[in-house]
Amino acid sequence: MYLSFFGLVEKPFSIAPNPEYLFLSDRHKEALAHLTFGLGDAGGFVLLTGEVGTGKTTVTRCMLEELPDTTQVAFVLNPSLSELELLASICDELRIRYKKSDASLKNLTDKIKNRLLKNHQSGGHTMLIIDEAQHLAPAVLEQLRLLTNLETNHKKLLQIILVGQPELQQLLKRNELRQLAQRITARYHLLPLTEAQVFAYIQHRLHKAGTDTPIFATNSIKLIHQLTAGIPRLINLLCDRALMGAFANQQQQVNKLIVKQAATEVLPLQPEQTPNKIISPIMLSMAALLCITAGFALSFIF
């Protein structure tokens, strides 16, 4: 709706993980370096944590792009599974055939280990990535640890990356998981963007979308950082709605007032806010603009 108004070729603040819009801040680069180091020849477990929307998926995707073609990757997105279901998911991801009627912990474990050995003997590597790992049950984590027992004199045959929210760190402090915790070769907690990084992030995405015009005023970007706490996903939501608000008001630049109005629609309510107070002028302006457009179209027809 607002693309041509701002000289854009596509939406710059979509929350879809478009690799063309990849922005690696210094913190993301540091997280990537820790992952790469942890996935050295020693193998074992690597831990990446961070609050919702801080860019853990971005770092993981970037790491995957740097892997050699000889690496076979299993990606588990739904970790709320039993031990047997997890092993079955790993088999599915690694394209290991098995009969569901014969599926058991021992049978599936043996098949996975055979694949690990086969990949190693052919000069390849095997990696397992589990997203939202804070939802893993302790028994499932212990089953993962057992999978890493297969090793040579120099390396583990399975490298596992656990990606999750801060609760994952607390989970791994449990006494029954101390053996697994000792096998973590690298860990990194991804923090939100700083104010300077938010400036760079917004300009980067606008540039990728087709413009270098400073659409967002300096003080509005500072406010965006304050309102979103530097979390990229919230920045995208807020900036997209702010652009829509500026378009509705026919303003070429997003100011603080527009950002504040947009925040009432897309960000979580503050304790002092009530639904009755949140009737945004952005939506009123949008409605008025649509009515004017519709009226013009009708007058043209008749």
Residue 26 has pLDDT above 80, yes or no: yes
Question: What's residue 67's pLDDT?
Answer: 86
Taken as a whole, the chain contains a residue count of: 302
Q: What is the pLDDT of residue 98?
A: 93
- pLDDT > 50? residue 154: yes
User: 295 pairs with which residues across the strands?
Assistant: none
User: Given pLDDT bands bounded at 50, 70 and 90, which one contains residue 185?
Assistant: confident
Instruction: Output DSSP code: residue 272.
Output: T
- Which pTM was predicted? 0.80
| pLDDT at site 33 | 87
pLDDT of residue 275: 41
The C-alpha R_g of the chain, in whole angstroms, comes to 24
pLDDT digits (tens, 9 = 90+) for 80-135: 899 999 999 999 999 999 998 889 999 999 999 999 999 999 998 899 999 999 99
Tokens of 287: 């409605």
The DSSP bridge pattern shows strands 184-190 and 159-164 to be: unpaired
Task: Identify the pLDDT of residue 279.
Answer: 41
Q: Strands, E, within 152-221: which ranges?
A: 159-164, 184-190
| Structure confidence at residue 162 as a pLDDT band (50, 70, 90) | very high
Per the prediction, the chain carries an average pLDDT of 86
Q: Where in the chain is the domain with CATH 3.40.50.300?
A: 26-190
Q: Once rounded to an integer, what is the mean pLDDT over residues 45-58?
A: 91
Percent of the chain with pLDDT over 90: 64
Looking at residue 276, its pLDDT comes to 43
Predicted pLDDT at 269:
58
Q: Are 83 and 217 in contact (CB under 8 A)?
A: no
Strand intervals (E) in 27-76? 44-50, 71-76
Is 70 exceeded by the pLDDT of residue 287? no
Residue range(s) of every CATH 1.10.8 domain in the chain: 193-301
Query: 193-301 has which fold?
Result: Helicase, Ruva Protein; domain 3 (1.10.8)
Instruction: Return the CATH architecture of domain 26-190.
Output: 3-Layer(aba) Sandwich (3.40)
pLDDT of residue 222: 97
CA–CA gap between residue 256 and residue 267 (Å, rounded): 15
pLDDT of residue 247: 96
Mean pLDDT of 155-159: 86
Interhelix angle 232-248/256-266, nearest 10 degrees: 120
Q: What is the tens place of the pLDDT at every residue in 214-249? A: 999 999 999 999 999 999 999 999 999 999 999 999
Q: What is the pLDDT of residues 29-38, one digit of tens each?
A: 998 888 888 7
pLDDT, residue 298, reads 41
The per-residue pLDDT for 41 is: 57
Find the mean pLDDT for residues 11-15: 93
